[in-house]
Structure 1
Amino acid sequence: MEKSKRMKLYLWVSLLLPLLLFGKSGGKENGLKELDKIVKYPEEYIQRKEQRIAEGKLKRQQAQTDEQRMEADAYLANEYKIYTADSALYYAREQLQLAEKSGKREIIEKSRMLLAEVRIITGMYWESLDLLANIDQRELSEEMLESYYHLYQTLYGAMRDYAIGEELQQEYEQKVALYQDSLLSLASRKSDGRVMIKANQWVHQGEYRKALNLLLPYYETLNPDSREMGYTAYAVANVYRQMGEQEKEKEYLIISALSDLKCGVKEYISLRELAALLYEEGDIARAYAYMKRAMEDAAFCNARLRTIEVSQVLPIINEAYRLQRERQQRQMFIYLLCISVLALFLILLALYLRRQMKKLALAKKEVGKANEQLKLLNGELQLLNVRLSDSNTRLQLTNKSLAEVNYIKEAYIGRFLDLCSTYIGKLDTYRRSLNKKAMNGQTEELFRDLKSTQFVEEELEEFYTNFDTAFLQLFPDFVKEFNALLAEGEEIILKPGELLNTELRIFALIRLGITDSNKIAQFLRYSLKTIYNYRTKMRNKARGAREDFEQEVMRIGTF
C-alpha cells in the first residue's frame, strides 16, 4: 500500500515538473518570444555549428592514417546529416570507401549504416534498402544490431508516412512494429532506448497516459542543451496531440523547436508543426515567419521530404498572411483618410481663428500703447528676476554638487577603510604563511609563492568587484543611463555575473571625477594608449555630439 502511494506521488511529480520548469522560464509566450528572436537572427547558433564542422574538417586535413580519416569522415557526416544532406552524403561515401579499402568487416558495416542513415534523411529510401540488404546482421555486435534495427524501423516508418494506398501503408506499419519488437528485445537492459520505443508502441495502441508515464520522467533527466531534449520534447508533444490537448502540444513543440534551432539542426519537424498550430490559432504573422524559416532550412539542408512537407502547408499560410496584410493596408488607408479629413478641419479652424486673432490684435493695439510704460517697468523687473534666478540656480547646482561629492566621499571612505583593514589582515596572513615556509625550509614552495601572481590577481579581481559594487550602490542605474547615451545597436551588453566591464569601469571613474587617462590607466592596470582607445571608441558610439559625450556621462545619476 505504501509503495502504491509512493508510485502515485512520483507520477504526479513527473507530470507537473515540466510545467513548473516551463512556467519558471516565462511560460509559452516567453518561449515564443525567444523562438521569434532565434528564427529572425539564427546566426549565433549557425556559427557554433559551422565552428564544429570547421574543427572536423581541420582534423580531416591533419589526419595521417586512413583510420583517422574515417573517424573524421564519420564525425563530419554526423554533423552534416541534419545540417546539409549533400555534404553528409559526401563524407559518408568517403568513409565507406576507406572502410572497404581497410577490409575490416565491422568498420565496413558501420560505414554502410551511416550512409544508409543519411540516405533516409535525403529521401533515398530504395537506395537505403539496397545498402542495408548487403549487411550481414549475423556479423554485427549487439550495439551495431540495435542501430541496424533502428535504421530499418526509421526507414519503414518514413515509407509508411509517404506510401500511396492503405494496403501498402499497413505493410510498412507491420514492418515497423516488427523492428520495434526486435529493438525492445535488445534494449531490455538499456532504459533510454527502451523508453522511446515502448512509448511509441503505447501511442500506436492508444495508451497515451502510459506513454507519458514513460516519456516525462525520462525527459526530466535530459540536458536542456542536448539534441535528445529536442526529439524527446517532440515525442511528448505528439502524445498530447493524440490526446487532443493542444496547449500541452504547443508547449512541448516550442521546447523542441528551440532545441532544434539552438543545436544548429536544419532537418526538423517541430517548427513546421508549431507554425501549423499557430496558423490554426490565428497567429498568422508568426506562423508565416516560422514556416518560411522551416522552408529555408529544409532547402538549405536539401532534406527533400521536409521540403515537400513544408511546401504543402506554406502556400496556405502565405495566402492567409497576404490577405491579412491587405486587410491591414485597407485599415491603414481608412485611418489615413480619417486623419486627412481631420487635418482639413483643423486647417479651416486655424484660418477662422487667424481671422479672429487679427480682430483681437486691432483691439489690443490700443491697449498696448497704454501698457508700454508698464511693460518697460516689467521688463526691468524681469531682468532682475532672471539674474536672481540664475544666481539661485548656480547656488542649487553648487549645493547639489557638494552634496553629491560628500555622499561619494562618505561612501568611498567607508569602503576604503574597510578594504584597508581587510588587505592588512590578508597581507599579515600571507606574510605569516611565507615566514612559516621559510622557517620550515620550504624554499621551493616559498620561491613559487613569491613568483606567483595569483595572490595579486585574486585581490585585484576582488578589488574591482568591490569598486563595481560600491559604484552601483551610488549610481544603481548607471549602466542603463550610459547605454541611453550610445547610438542604437551600440549598447554594452554585460555577460552573466558581470557588474561592470572595462569600458563601463573607465567611464565610472570619469563619473567620479577621475578624468586623467594616466590615473585611469594606473587604476585599471592598462596602458595609456589602451585607455585612450577605449575613450575614443565610446565617443564614436555616442548618440549625440562626440565632444559632449563625457560631459553627459558626468551628469548621470544627478539629483
Structure 2
Amino acid sequence: MRLAKLLFGLLMVCSSFSLSANDKKLLNRLDDLLEQRESYFEKRRNDIRNINQLLNIETDPVREYELIKKITEKYLPYNADSALLYSRRGVRLAASFQKENTMIEANLRLAQAYILVGLYHESVAILNEYEDVELPPEFQAYFYSINAVLYNTLSSLRITSSIRMKYRHKWEGYERNLMDALPENDLGHHLAKAELYKEIGRLDEAIIILEDILEGVNIEDRVYASTAYTLADAYGRKGLIDKKIDFLTLSSQSDILNGVKEHTSLRELALELYKNNELSRAYHYIKVALDDAVESNAQLRRAEVLEILPLIDHSYQENREKTRKYIMIFSTIVCLLLIILIFGMIFIQKQKRELEASNAQVKDTNQLLSQLNDELKNSKQEVENANKQLMSVNNVQEESIARYLKLCSTYIGKLDDYRMQLLRKGNKSNKEDLLKVLKSKEIVDQELKIFYKDFDQSFLKLYPNFVQSYNDLMVDEAKITLKKNELLNTELRVFALVRLGIEESTQIAEFLRYSITTIYNYRTKARNNAKDGRENFEKHLMEIQ
C-alpha cells in the first residue's frame, strides 16, 4: 500500500495539471518559437542595421529625420534605451526644421520612449504641453494613445487606491478620445471601444469586437499581440481560464514572431500556468520575460516580472526538491525490486529442469506442425499451378481473338483487292454499268461496319468495364463519351487492340484502315492526357480487367 502511495505521489509531482488538448498544442508551438526567438531578434537587428547604414550616409535632414523615426519605431518594443536615444536625436533634428508639425511628432515619440524607460514625470511634462492645444488632426489619435498608455501604466504601479482610481479615470477619458479621433472602420477605433467595454463590464460585446479583429489580421501583424492579450483579459474576467490561456499563448507567439522583447502576455501566461500547477513552463516563461525585460530596459515589464518571479521560483524549486526526494525513494524501491528479481532468477533456474522435460513434448508437437506446414505448402503449390493454368487459358483466349480479328481484317483486304481487279477489267471492256458498281466501296464499308461491331461485342465480353476503366485513366477533359448505340469508337478500338497485345502501330493501322500517323497521334494524345503521367499509361491500360 505504501509503495502504491509513493508511486502515485511521484506521478502527481511529475505530471502537469489538467490542460486542454488545444492549450497543450498552442503551448508546444510557443515552446518551439521560444527556441527560435533569437532568429526573430536577428531579423529585427538586421532591419535596424540596414536603416543605420542609410542614416550614416544620409545628408538630407528631412530624409535623415524619417530614418530616425523608422529606427526609433524598430527599437520601441525591442530596446527602450536605444529608442530613447534616437527619439531625443529626432527632437534635436526636428527643432532645426522650425516646423511645428514635425516638432509635435518628435516630442510625442520622445514621450512614448520616456514611458518605456520609466521616466513618467518627463513624459507627463511633454504631454501636458499639448493638453490644451488644438493638435493637427493627424496627431490627435497618436496623442490620445500615448496618454492612454501612460495612465494605464501609472495605474499599474504600487500606489494608493485613490490615486489609482484617478489614473484609471484619466485612462478612460483618453481611451474615449482616441476612439472618437479614429474613423469607425479603423482597427484602433475598434480596439479602443473593446477596451472601454471590457472596463465597464460589457465583456461579451468586447469579445465579439476583438474576435472580429483577430479574424482580419495575421499572427505576424503587430496588432495581433495586443488584440489577443485584451481578448485573453476579457475571457479571464468571465472566468474562462482555458480561453484566457489560449489567447495569452497566441499573443506571446505573435510577440516572438515580431522579435519583441517588451512582453506583457508571456508574463501573464506564466502566472496563469503557475496557478494551473504547470510549474516548469511557468518558470521557463517568466525567466524569458525577465531576461528580455532586462535587456530591453522596459521598466514596467521588469517590475511586473520581478513581482511574481519569487513566487514562481519558490514553487518551482520546492517542486524540484519534492521530485528529487521522490526519485530517491523510487530508486530505493527499484533496488529492492532488483534484489527480489535476483532471487527470482535463482528460483527460475531451479524450475529450468522441469521445463527441459517439457521440451521433448514441445519437440514432438513441432514435428507435427512441420508436417502440417509441408502439406500446406503442397496445397499452396497446387493453387499456384491452378492459377497458372487459368492465366494460360486467358492468354490462349486473347491470342485466339487476336488471330481471329487479324484473319477478318485480311479477308476484308482481299475483298477490296478483288474489287480493284474487277475495276481494271471493267475499264478494259468499257462496260459502264460494271464500272459504276465496282467503283463503289459500299460493300467494303458495310463489311467493315459489321466487322467492327462484331469486334466491339467480342472485346467487351472479355472486358465489359473497358470504357469506364479507360476513362478513369484520363483527365476529365479527355474522357470519351460514346454516341447512342455505339459500343466503341476508333480511339477506344486502338487501345482495345493494345490491351489484346497488338502493340505495333503498323498492325493497328492495318487493322483499322487508318494511316500509321493517325494511330500514332491517337496514342500520343492519350498518353499526354493520362492522369498518372504518360510513362505509366499503357502499363495501367494492360491492367484493365
Quick check: 1:152 aligned with 2:137? no
1:95 maps onto 2:64 in alignment: no
Return the match for 1:205 from 200, 209, 222: 200
Partner SS for 1:261: helix
Deviation, 1:353, is 7.0
**How many angstroms apart in 1 are the aligned matches of 2:139 and 2:268?**
32
Matching residue of 2:33: 38
Spell out, residue by residue over 1:435-479, the C-alpha distance to the aligned partner (whole angstroms, 9 max, x if none).
xxxxxxxxxxxxxxxxxxxxxxxxxxxxxxx99x99xxxxxxxxx
Alpha-carbon separation, structure 1, partners of 2:30 and 2:192 = 29
Q: Distance in 1 between matches of 2:84 and 2:218?
A: 29
- Inter-partner Cα distance in structure 1 for 2:348 and 2:134: 99
2:215 maps to: 220
Q: 1:484 maps to which residue?
A: none
**TM-superposition CA deviations, 1:261-287 (whole Å, max 9, x none):** 111111121111111111111111111
Q: Secondary structure at the match of 2:155?
A: helix
Question: What is the rounded CA distance, in whole Å, between the counterparts of 1:203 and 1:314 in structure 2?
Answer: 28
Q: CA deviation at 1:178?
A: 2.3
How many Å separate the matches in 1 of 2:79 and 2:202? 37
Q: What is the aligned partner in structure 2 of residue 182 from structure 1? A: 177
Q: Answer whether contact 1:39 1:290 (CA < 8 A) is retained.
A: no
Cα 1:180–1:346 change in 2 (3 A) is closer
Deviation at 1:213, TM superposition (A): 2.8
2-side partners of 1:76 and 1:188: how far apart?
28
**1:241-265 CA-partner distances (Å, limit 9, x unpaired):** 1111111111111111110111111
Name 2:269's counterpart in structure 1: 274
SS state of the match for residue 218, structure 1? helix
Counterpart of 2:152 in structure 1: which amino acid?
G
Q: Deviations over 1:377-397 (max 9, x none)?
A: xxxxxxxxxxxxxxxxxxxxx
Shift of 1:37: 1.5
Residue equivalent to 2:242: 247
Q: Look up the SS of the partner of 1:44 in the other structure.
A: helix
Over 3 Å counting, the alpha-carbon distance change for 1:141 and 1:290 in structure 2 is same
Residue identity in the other structure for 1:159: L
Matched residue, 1:77: 72
Instruction: State the match for 1:264 in structure 2.
Output: 259
1:83–1:267 Cα contact (<8 Å) kept: yes
Counterparts of 1:65-464 in structure 2 under 5 Å?
A: 65-135=60-130, 138=133, 140-162=135-157, 164-348=159-343
Q: Following the alignment from structure 1 to structure 2, what is the Cα–Cα distance between the partners of residues 255 and 138?
A: 40
Q: Shift of residue 203 of structure 1?
A: 1.6
**Deviations 1:331-390, CA, capped at 9 Å, x for gaps:** 2112211222233334455567779999x99xxxxxxxxxxxxxxxxxxxxxxxxxxxxx
CA distance in 2, matches of 1:341, 1:252: 48
* 1:64 maps onto 2:84 in alignment: no
Equivalent pair of 2:141/2:178 in contact (CA under 8 Å): yes
Number of residue pairs matched by the alignment: 369
Asked if the contact 2:23–2:242 (Cα under 8 Å) also holds between the matched residues in 1, the reply is no
**For 1:161, what is the secondary structure of its paired residue?**
coil
Residue in 1 aligned with 2:44? 49
Task: Tell me the equivalent position of 1:516.
Answer: none
CA RMSD of aligned residues (A): 4.2
Do 1:137 and 1:145's aligned partners in 2 also have CA atoms closer than 8 Å?
no
Which amino acid is the alignment partner of residue 216 of structure 2?
T
Per-residue CA deviations over 1:409-446 (Å, capped at 9, x if unaligned) read: xxxxxxxxx9xxxxxxxxxxxxxxxxxxxxxxxxxxxx
CA contact (8 A) 1:215 1:236 kept: yes
Percent of aligned positions that are identical? 28
Deviations 1:93-129 (A, max 9, x none): 1111111122222111111111111111222110111
Larger RCO: 1 or 2 (CA < 8 Å, sep 6+): 2
Quickly say closer, same or farther: Cα 1:349–1:54, change in 2 above 3 A. Answer: same
What CA distance in whole angstroms lies between the structure 2 residues aligned with 1:144 and 1:137? 14
CA gap of 1:356–1:239, structure 2 versus 1, over 3 A, is closer
Q: TM-score, normalised by structure 1?
A: 0.58
Mark the structure with the bigger radius of gyration: 2
Alpha-carbon deviation of 1:40? 3.2
Aligned-partner Cα distance in 2 for 1:141–1:178: 19
| Cα distance in 1 for residues equivalent to 2:350 and 2:218 | 76
Distance 1:247 1:27 in 2: 9
d(CA) in 1 for partners of 2:156, 2:131? 27
Distance 1:161 1:323 in 2: 29
Per-residue deviation, residues 159-202 of structure 1 (Å, max 9, x unmatched): 12215112211222222222223223322445322211111211
The one-letter code matched in structure 1 to 2:265 is S
Q: Residue 254 of structure 2 aligns to a residue in which SS?
A: helix
CA distance in 2, matches of 1:48, 1:246: 34
Letter in 1 for 2:60: T
Alignment gaps of 5+ in structure 1: 1-25, 362-417, 419-465, 471-559
Post-superposition offset of 1:323:
1.6
